[in-house]
């Protein structure tokens, strides 16, 4: 399908895909520093967490659907559609509240939440399609170094997002007359997105799928979405307000469980399911996704709770807490790039996955044993180590899965990787947030514990907002309580990492294919046949 493309055409296509992915990754962090100004202007403090939640729910639920569509239709058409949806959502987010309360859409804050969900519908495609298109352009033997660019793109966006968001919010109001600076946080996507769109339309081949084209199982897609939405919502609800045993939380999680059972039943009896469950017969697919689920939880745990430690234990400012995540991102970038290059040169992806896991275990153990007297520089070093360890997980688990399945299932298998990583992050963040809340309730005075625990949110976007919750220097009691509570959280995270590392041992290492045209070599189980 792409064997006749020149290297120049492949690299130009890759540039467009990475630019689109950069927009999606940037959007998950750039909004964080603008949120305080947004909720002040739109008078929506009671709903600020939903700005992040709406995007997360939509971007998580649609990833498997994009993967299935990629196996049936032109990759280019799907990528273009995802970019257009994302840019439309960005433009509408920038306009939220400009025309007052609107019929059906409500006030400005409600409009922003709805438009963020629309953004998430496009963002899901940008994330899923990046790995799928790279899989089309390069065979597995070469793919590692190019998928390493995906991790680097994600890490760079994570670094630039909070900085650019704060810069535009604080100083962008004068750039365009009459437009508040925080609105530029959304409008900045438009010129970059148009450049990415130009690259895709002018340089990218159609990339016709290898899978069999059949009518989409709309009922299967509906069941999947209707189960994932309440699942993510149930996990995202602030457990200080809606406890795990509250009727709303139990109702959402119960509805999600019922929806997932119906989805599995439908998939097993459908001629063209959204996710072909025969993929789980493949030990590479099965073990790698278990590891990704656990490592996704570990990554989000570091992102959310490290700023809390910085503010409430070290005594750093909100800005310093946000900056402290830069070493994590830079570690992910360097680890991802190095692992991708080494696998492309020497092969043997499993040893790099296990090696990265050992580095992550070391860094996570250091975080779990940090005393209340830990210094700012000490924490930076520990998160850097964690970032280097996490880096190889970005490209290599996906590479192992793509190498082990038949080309006709690339879209489904690749999107499953992103899906399990995101669900793992949302699940772990919710559970670990509850652990911290309970720990604080036991160690802080009754009048202090609920206030300290309430802002916890299972979202990358809201993590910097949590940091704003403690502007005053922490008292010795608060420092001791948070140090003890976050130590518990990071010990549980260490257990997740150890389990993910053990799951990696069960991933068979197959020879990397030198062509996309051939089937997996020595695949333990051939998937896709019912």
Phi, psi of 98 (to 5 degrees): -65, -30
Reduce the DSSP state of residue 457 to 3 states and report it: coil
Rounded to an integer, the average pLDDT of 211-224 is 80
The b/e string for 315-330 (b: 16+ C-beta within 10 A; e otherwise) is ebebeebbbbbbbbbb
Residue 261: how many other CB atoms lie within 10 Å:
12
pTM, 2 dp: 0.85
pLDDT digits (tens, 9 = 90+) for 369-419: 999 899 999 999 999 999 999 988 888 999 999 999 888 888 899 999 989
pLDDT digits 0-9 by tens, 457-472: 333 333 433 334 445 6
Residue 10 backbone dihedrals phi, psi, to 5 degrees: -65, -45
Q: Is the pLDDT of residue 518 over 70?
A: no
| 456 pLDDT more than 50 | no
pLDDT at 250: 92
Q: What is the pLDDT of residue 448?
A: 52
pLDDT at 14: 87
φ and ψ at residue 106, rounded to 5 degrees:
80, -155
What average pLDDT is seen over the chain?
83
Q: From CA 296, how far away is CA 154, in angstroms rounded? A: 14
Cα–Cα dist 106/217, whole Å: 33
Give kind and range of the element (H or E) at residue 54. Answer: helix 48-61
| pLDDT(454) > 50 | no
Count the neighbouring beta carbons within 10 Å of the beta carbon of residue 478: 22
**In the predicted structure, residue 195 carries a pLDDT above the cut 70:** yes
Helix (H) or strand (E) holding 530: none
**Residue 3: pLDDT band with limits 50, 70, 90:** low
Q: What share of the chain is helix, strand, coil (3-state, %, to 5)?
A: 75, 0, 25
Residue 35: pLDDT band by 50, 70, 90 thresholds?
confident
- C-alpha pair distances (Å), 82 with each of 99, 212, 401, 460: 27, 22, 24, 22
pLDDT band at 210 (very low <50, low <70, confident <90, very high): low
User: How high is the pLDDT of residue 467?
Assistant: 38
Q: In the predicted model, is pLDDT for residue 221 greater than 80?
A: yes
Give the phi and the psi of residue 180 in degrees, each rounded to 5: -65, 145
| pLDDT band at 433; cut points 50, 70, 90 | confident
Q: Which two tokens stand for residue 71?
A: 């196996």
| Per-residue pLDDT, 502 | 96
pLDDT, greater one: 6 or 330:
330
The whole-number average pLDDT for the span 346-372 is 93
- Give first-to-last CA distance, the chain, whole Å: 26
Q: Kindly tell me if the per-residue pLDDT of 446 is higher than 70.
A: no
């Amino acid at each position: 399908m792409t064997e006749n493309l020149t290297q120049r055409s492949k690299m130009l296509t890759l540039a467009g895909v990475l630019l689109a992915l950069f927009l999606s990754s940037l959007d998950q962090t750039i909004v964080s520093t603008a949120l305080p100004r947004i909720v002040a202007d739109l008078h929506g403090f009671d709903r600020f967490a939903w700005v992040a939640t709406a995007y997360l729910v939509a971007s998580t639920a649609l990833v498997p659907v994009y993967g299935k569509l990629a196996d049936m239709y032109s990759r280019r058409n799907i990528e273009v559609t995802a970019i257009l949806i994302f840019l439309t959502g960005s433009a509408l987010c920038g306009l939220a509240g400009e025309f007052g309360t609107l019929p059906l859409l409500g006030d400005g804050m409600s409009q922003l939440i709805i438009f963020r969900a629309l953004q998430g519908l496009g963002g899901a495609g940008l994330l899923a399609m990046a790995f799928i298109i790279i899989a089309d352009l390069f065979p597995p033997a070469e793919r590692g170094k190019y998928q390493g660019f995906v991790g680097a793109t994600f890490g760079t966006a994570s670094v630039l997002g909070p900085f650019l968001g704060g810069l535009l919010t604080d100083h962008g109001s004068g750039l365009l007359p009459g437009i508040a600076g925080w609105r530029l946080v959304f409008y900045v996507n438009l010129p970059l997105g148009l450049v990415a769109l130009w690259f895709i339309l002018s340089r990218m081949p159609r990339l016709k799928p290898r899978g069999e084209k059949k009518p989409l199982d709309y009922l299967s897609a509906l069941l999947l979405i209707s189960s994932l939405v309440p699942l993510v919502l149930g996990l995202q609800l602030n457990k200080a307000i809606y406890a795990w045993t509250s009727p709303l939380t139990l109702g959402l999680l119960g509805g999600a469980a019922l929806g997932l059972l119906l989805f599995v039943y439908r998939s097993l009896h459908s001629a063209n399911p959204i996710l072909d469950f025969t993929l789980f017969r493949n030990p590479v697919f099965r073990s790698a996704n278990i590891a990704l689920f656990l490592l996704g939880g570990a990554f989000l745990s570091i992102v959310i709770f490290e700023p809390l430690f910085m503010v409430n234990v070290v005594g750093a400012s909100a800005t310093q807490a946000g900056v402290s995540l830069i070493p994590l991102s830079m570690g992910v970038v360097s680890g991802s790039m190095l692992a991708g290059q080494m696998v492309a040169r020497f092969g043997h992806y499993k040893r790099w996955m296990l090696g990265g896991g050992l580095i992550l275990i070391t860094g996570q153990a250091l975080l779990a044993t940090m005393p209340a007297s830990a210094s700012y520089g000490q924490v930076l070093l520990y998160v850097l180590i964690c970032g280097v360890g996490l880096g190889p997980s970005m490209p290599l688990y996906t590479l192992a899965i793509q190498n082990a399945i038949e080309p006709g299932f690339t879209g489904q298998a690749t999107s499953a990787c992103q899906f399990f990583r995101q669900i793992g992050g949302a699940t772990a963040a919710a559970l670990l947030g509850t652990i911290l809340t309970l720990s604080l309730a036991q160690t802080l005075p009754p009048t202090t514990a609920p206030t300290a625990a309430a802002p916890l949110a299972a979202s990358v976007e809201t993590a910097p907002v949590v940091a704003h919750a403690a502007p005053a220097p922490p008292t010795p009691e608060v420092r001791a309580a948070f140090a003890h509570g976050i130590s518990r959280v990071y010990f549980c995270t260490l257990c997740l990492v150890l389990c993910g590392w053990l799951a990696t041992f069960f991933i068979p290492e197959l020879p990397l294919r030198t062509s996309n045209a051939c089937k997996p070599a020595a695949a333990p189980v051939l998937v896709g046949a019912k």
